[in-house]
Structure 1
Amino acid sequence: MAQYKGAASEAGRAMQLMKKREREREQLEQLKQKIAEDNMVKSNIDKKFSAHYDAVEQELKSSTVGLVTLNDMKAKQEALVKEREKQLAKKEQSKELQLKLEKQKEKKRKEEQKRKIASLSFNPDEGEEEEEEEEEEETEEEICIPAKKKKLGKNPDVDTSFLPDRDREEEENRLREELRQEWERKQEKIKSEEIEITFSYWDGSGHRKTVKMKKGNTIQQFLQRALEVLRKDFSELRSAGVEHLMYIKEDLIIPHHHSFYDFIVTKARGKSGPLFNFDVHDDIRLVNDATVEKDESHAGKVVLRSWYEKNKHIFPASRWEPYDPEKKWDKYTIR
Structure 2
Amino acid sequence: MAQYKGAESEASRAIHLLKKREKQREQMEHMKQRIAQENLVKSNIDRKFSAHYDAVEAELKSSMVGLVTLNDVKMKQQALVKEWEKQLAKKEQQKELQRKLEKLREKEHKEEAKRKISSLSFTLEEEEEAGEEDEELERKAFTTKKRKLGKNPDVDTSFLPDRDREEEENRLREELRQEWEAKQEKIKSEEMEITFSYWDGSGHRRTVNMKKGNTMQEFLQKALEILRKDFGELRSAGVEQLMYIKEDLIIPHHHSFYDFLVTKPRGKSGPLFNFDVHDDVRLLSDATVEKDESHAGKVV
- The two structures have a TM-score, normalised by structure 2, of 0.47
Identify the structure with bigger relative contact order (alpha carbons < 8 Å, sequence gap 6+). 2
Higher CA-based Rg: 1
- The two structures have a TM-score, normalised by structure 1, of 0.42
Give the helix-richer structure, 1 or 2.
2
